[in-house]
Structures are given as C-alpha cells and as structure tokens.
C-alpha cells in the first residue's frame, strides 16, 4: 500500500476524521510523501502543464506589466520582486529576461521566492542560476518594502474546506476510514459566522468552499501593497464566487479520484477571487480572462516577432502555444487574472479598475 495512505489511515483511526483542508495539505506538502515535496510535476512527462511552461511569452508579458506598474508608481527603490509558488522557476526566468531593458528595475530589485518544496527550490536555483535569491516558507518574513508579487497557479494549491449547507447551519466534508479505506464523510451541523452572507445565495445541500490560507495571504499582501506600494498579479483558474465542489485530483494529465493515491496526484480547487477581493484592504482590479489580459499586453505582436525566427515543427508548436494561452476553448477563459494595487494608483497594464 502507498506509504502516505497507510499514515493517513493510522492517523484517522487514532484521531478521528480529518477536515478536507488537512487531507489536502498533507497530500501536497508532507515532507516525505507529499506531492510537491517529492517531485517535479510539470510538463509533458508530469501531471500538468502550466502557462509559463507552454510559452516564454506568458512570463515576458507578466514581467513587463509588473515593471510598467513599478514605473507608474515612481520606480520605488529598493523594492521586492516576489513570486509565490514558482514551480520550475520558468516564469521568473522569463520575467527577469524581459525586464532587463527596463532602466533601474534590476538595480533596485530584491528577489524573493515563496516556496515550500525543497525539491522545487533546487530546480528554481538551477533554472535561475543566481546567487541573490531569498527563499521563504510564507509571507511573514518578507522585508517591509514595496512589493511586486506574481502568483500563477499558486492559490489553487492552497488547502480548502468544503462546507455543505444544512438549513441555517453547515456540515464540513471530512476524510474518514470506511471498510479499511479512505472515504468522504460529513461532520454534524455547525454554525459558521464567516458564511452568514452565503446563506443568501445558496440552498440546502449546496457546497461552499473556503480557503482560509488564501484569505490570510490576500489580507497580508494587500495590506503591504496598500501601505508601501506595489502590486500583486494573481493568475489562476476559478471565478468570482465559489459554488459547488471544485476539488480535483490530476494524475498523468487525467482527472483522478482524490482519495485513490494520496501524495501521487496533484490536488487543486478553483480560486474564489471574490473572497480574495473581500479580504484585501487594497484596491483590486476587475477579474479578467487570461486571454483578454494577454491580448491587451500585446501577445499577438510578440507572437509574430518570435514566429519570424521559427520554421517547421517549432513554428507549429509556437502557434499552438499562442492559441493554448489565449483561446476561449483552451486556457483563455478558464484562467483569470486579478491584481491588487494601492488605492488611488492605476492597476497593472492589461487590467482595469
Ligand atoms: N507557478 C508555477 C507552479 C505552480 S504549482 C507554474 O505556473 O508553473 C504550485 C506551486 O506552489 C509549486 O511550486 C508548489 O510547490 C508551491 N506551493 C504549493 N503550496 C504551497 C504553500 N502552501 N506554500 C508555498 N508554496 C506552495
């Protein structure tokens, strides 16, 4: 039997059913058996492919949007350039290359990466090949400076709670043990002060997902940006308000049973951008489809310029990558972009207030 499954069953037998959030956190980040802790899951050979791994254009345009935002705010120096959950470090490499020509940007920048996985930290170090990277477990120890932060497919990896409405109360979805195997169950009904407003737009039996860690991060990051300046660009799949079960396991590019192979499948949930917007004390942009965001930033022109140097299969791949990032039937609409920025300032280019 899978080592993590055995550990989980033993723990549940000893302590009782565990909330979904604890199951998700353990599966993703257990130091020995966790999904991110033990592997590089990206790319064709892995379980999923992210936008920065599809084309260099993604990170380049994100980088230029952030750098223009930095210029618009008067080029504060020093400042923090941070990425949450950098994966292989591909997007940051593209951001750094694209912003080299922005006068003063690299000179004023301190590079901070928020990454829990040691395996991925090593890969990020190799990709970026720099001596000046400062890694963090979370946001708390980032220096108190203007903060320009990017996060692509980071919030979807943070553990969620699932609450099922029962009258005016809520039952929480848990992972327990049944017939010797992991199985979903529900707690008894509880009052949830934080879900009062969701009683208005839900019915009995509806599932509402809450991501306490995402809310805490949004609050802290937004507070820093409001106080010191900066911006946070968050790109993820999700929507304005979460309703229903979006908890999903992905293994070898296919949807899998989230309880079947703990630690061996990627577990995610859609991001509830409305909840992030509610949590930040800063201004936030309109939620914008990824395709629209990239088109506003000039992906068509950049794609043409790159195409000029390509032919044959490389050119075909490049054209397919452009389509994949922007087209409504691919990532263009499913993925959304939202930014935090100081009240009274302009949002990063590509986004509207
Ligand atoms: N941004 C990258 C990787 C996305 S996968 C890309 O687009 O390719 C999610 C990333 O977030 C991984 O690097 C993972 O190790 C990291 N991560 C997940 N949960 C985390 C947490 N709680 N704290 C810090 N990093 C986390």
Q: Mean pLDDT of all residues in the chain? A: 96
pLDDT for 246 beyond 90? yes
Q: pLDDT by residue (tens digit) across 126-141?
A: 999 999 999 999 998 9
Rounded to a whole number of angstroms, the CA Rg of the chain reads 21
- pLDDT score recorded for residue 39: 82
CB-based contacts of 262, cutoff 8 Å, min separation 6: 2, 4, 5, 8, 23, 26, 27, 33, 182
Which ligand 1 atom is at minimum distance from the Cα of 266?
5
Could you tell me what percent of the chain has a pLDDT over 90? 92
- pLDDT score recorded for residue 242: 77
Q: Percentages helix, strand, coil for the chain, rounded to the nearest 5?
A: 40, 25, 35
Q: What is the mean pLDDT of residues 179-184?
A: 96
- pLDDT score recorded for residue 241: 86
pTM above 0.85, yes or no: yes
Question: Is 95 within 8 Å of 60 (Cβ atoms)?
Answer: yes
- pLDDT score recorded for residue 188: 96
pLDDT for 63 beyond 90? yes
Task: Measure 268 CA to ligand 1 centroid, in angstroms.
Answer: 11
- pLDDT score recorded for residue 138: 92
Name the 3-class secondary structure at 276: helix
Residue 335: which pLDDT band, with cuts at 50, 70 and 90?
very high
CA-CA distance, 235 to 21, in Å (whole number)? 22
Task: Measure 308 CA to ligand 1 centroid, in angstroms.
Answer: 34
Q: Which tokens go with 82? A: 């941070």
- pLDDT score recorded for residue 293: 98
Q: pLDDT by residue (tens digit) across 252-302?
A: 888 999 999 999 999 999 999 999 999 999 999 999 999 999 999 999 999
Q: What is the mean pLDDT of residues 154-177?
A: 97
Could you tell me what percent of the chain has a pLDDT over 70? 99
**Interaxial angle between packed helices 3-15 and 20-29, expressed in degrees from 0 to 180 and rounded to the nearest 10:** 150
CA-CA distance, 192 to 22, in Å (whole number)? 19
- pLDDT score recorded for residue 1: 62
Cα maximum dimension of the chain: 64
**Interaxial angle between packed helices 312-326 and 299-307, expressed in degrees from 0 to 180 and rounded to the nearest 10:** 170
pLDDT for 146 beyond 90? yes
**Interaxial angle between packed helices 56-72 and 90-98, expressed in degrees from 0 to 180 and rounded to the nearest 10:** 50
CB-based contacts of 320, cutoff 8 Å, min separation 6: none
Which ligand 1 atom is at minimum distance from the Cα of 88?
8
Helices (H), the chain: 3-15, 20-29, 35-38, 51-54, 56-72, 90-98, 105-108, 118-128, 212-228, 273-279, 290-296, 299-307, 312-326
Residue 178: which pLDDT band, with cuts at 50, 70 and 90?
very high
Residue labelled with tokens 């936030």 = 284
Task: Measure 51 CA to ligand 1 centroid, in angstroms.
Answer: 13
Residue labelled with tokens 């090949």 = 129
Q: What is the mean pLDDT of residues 315-322?
A: 98
Q: pLDDT by residue (tens digit) across 32-46?
A: 999 988 888 887 777
Pocket (CB within 6 angstroms of ligand 1): 28, 36, 42, 50, 52-53, 85-87, 91, 114-117, 120, 152-154, 157-158
């Amino acid at each position: 039997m899978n080592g993590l499954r055995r550990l989980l069953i033993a723990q549940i037998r000893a302590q009782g059913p565990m909330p979904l959030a604890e199951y998700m956190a353990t599966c993703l980040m257990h130091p020995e058996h966790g999904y991110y802790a033990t592997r590089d899951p990206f790319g064709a050979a892995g379980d999923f492919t992210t936008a920065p791994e599809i084309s260099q254009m993604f990170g380049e345009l994100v980088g230029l949007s952030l750098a223009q935002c930095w210029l618009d705010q008067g080029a504060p120096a020093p400042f923090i350039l941070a990425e949450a959950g950098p994966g292989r470090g591909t997007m940051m490499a593209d951001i750094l290359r694209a912003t080299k020509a922005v006068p003063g940007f690299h000179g004023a920048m301190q590079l901070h990466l928020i990454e829990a996985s040691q395996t991925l930290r090593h890969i990020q170090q190799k990709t970026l090949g720099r001596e000046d990277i400062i890694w963090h477990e979370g946001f708390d120890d980032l220096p108190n400076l203007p903060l320009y932060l990017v996060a692509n497919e980071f919030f979807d990896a943070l553990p969620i709670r699932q609450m099922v409405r029962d009258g005016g109360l809520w039952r929480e979805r848990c992972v327990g043990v049944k017939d010797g195997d992991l199985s979903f169950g529900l707690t008894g009904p509880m009052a949830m002060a934080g879900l009062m407003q969701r009683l208005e737009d839900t019915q009995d039996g509806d599932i509402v997902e809450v991501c306490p860690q995402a809310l805490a991060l949004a609050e802290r990051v937004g507070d820093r940006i409001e106080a010191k300046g900066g911006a946070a660009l968050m790109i993820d799949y999700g929507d304005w308000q979460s309703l229903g079960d979006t908890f999903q396991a992905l293994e070898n590019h296919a949807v899998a049973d989230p309880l079947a192979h703990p630690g061996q499948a990627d577990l995610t949930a859609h991001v509830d951008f409305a909840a992030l917007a509610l949590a930040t004390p800063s201004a936030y942009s309109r939620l914008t489809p990824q395709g629209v965001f990239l088109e506003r930033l000039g992906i068509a022109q950049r794609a043409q310029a790159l195409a000029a140097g390509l032919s044959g299969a490389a050119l075909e791949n490049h054209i397919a990558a452009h389509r994949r990032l922007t087209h409504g039937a691919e990532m263009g609409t499913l993925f959304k972009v939202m930014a935090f920025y100081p009240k009274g300032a302009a949002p990063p280019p590509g986004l509207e207030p």
